[in-house]
Amino acid sequence: MTKDNMDDDQEIFDLNFHTFGKNATRTKALDTLWFDVLIEEVETEEMPEDAKRKLIFMMTSAAVLDVVMQSLHPKLAEVLANELDNYIGILMVNNRFGVDMMQDIEDAFLKHHGKEFASEEDYIAIKEEFDDKWWNAPKQALGGRTPWDAVKEEKFNAGLEREMVIRKE
């Protein structure tokens, strides 16, 4: 392993720690900010316990999403919102069809191209071309839909997509 590789590995470790590694600590901080107020508000509601638990989940999710979006520059928040909606759509497709699209595309790529590339630029170019074709090719596991059409359909059904546009081939 070269020094450059070790530096890259350290940079990835640092990024992962900063991005994900502090989530337990962030959760404790949010608990301090919100838990008592949230529970107090939910306890005043006259509803079954399972409805209260769902309300707690919905309120917490909305609050976390608000914090994330408000913490970003508006243009970055727009990009994140779009990517988050797409990822939620992917998870919904996975759930509906019993697939794992992210694993499926990775497996298909490795099967067709392997792991060795002449350069990082070569890898990126090949991966982008492969991804574009994969996401836009009908899949039997998705009832003949393309992955993007299936994602758009799920997003539309969930209210995350304004209009339902499916390509006619």
pLDDT in tens, 99-152: 999 999 999 999 999 999 999 999 999 999 999 999 999 999 999 999 999 999
Alpha helices in the chain (DSSP H): 3-16, 23-43, 49-70, 74-97, 101-113, 120-135, 147-158
56-96 residue pLDDT tens: 999 999 999 999 999 999 999 999 999 999 999 999 999 99
Nearest-angstrom CA–CA distance, 125 and 131: 10
How many domains, in total, are found in the chain? 2
Same domain, 100 and 86: yes
Instruction: Tell me, yes or no, whether 98 and 126 share the same domain.
Output: yes
40 in the same domain as 18:
yes
CB 39 within 8 A of CB 57: no
Range of the domain at 81: 73-169
The model's pTM is 0.79
Residue ending a domain, among 30, 46, 71, is: 71
Same-domain pairing of 66 and 90: no
3-class DSSP state of 164: coil
Q: Which residue has the tokens 């409805």?
A: 51
Alpha-carbon distance 163 to 155, whole Å? 9
Q: Tell me which of 38, 71, 104 is where a domain ends.
A: 71
Residue 159 and residue 115 share a domain: yes
Question: Do 88 and 147 fall within a single domain?
Answer: yes
Kindly state whether residues 42 and 109 are assigned to the same domain. Answer: no
Report d(CA 66, CA 86) in Å as an integer.
18
67 and 87 share a domain? no
Cα–Cα distance measured from residue 155 to residue 150, given in angstroms and rounded to the nearest whole number: 9
Say whether both 78 and 130 belong to one domain: yes
Q: Return d(Cα 75, Cα 51) in angstroms, integer.
A: 36
pLDDT of residue 21: 85
The tens digit of pLDDT for each residue in 3-43 reads 555 566 777 667 777 778 888 899 999 999 999 999 999 99
Tokens found for residue 104 = 């499926």
Same structural domain, 84 and 61: no
Are both 125 and 64 inside the same structural domain? no
Q: What is the pLDDT of residue 96?
A: 97
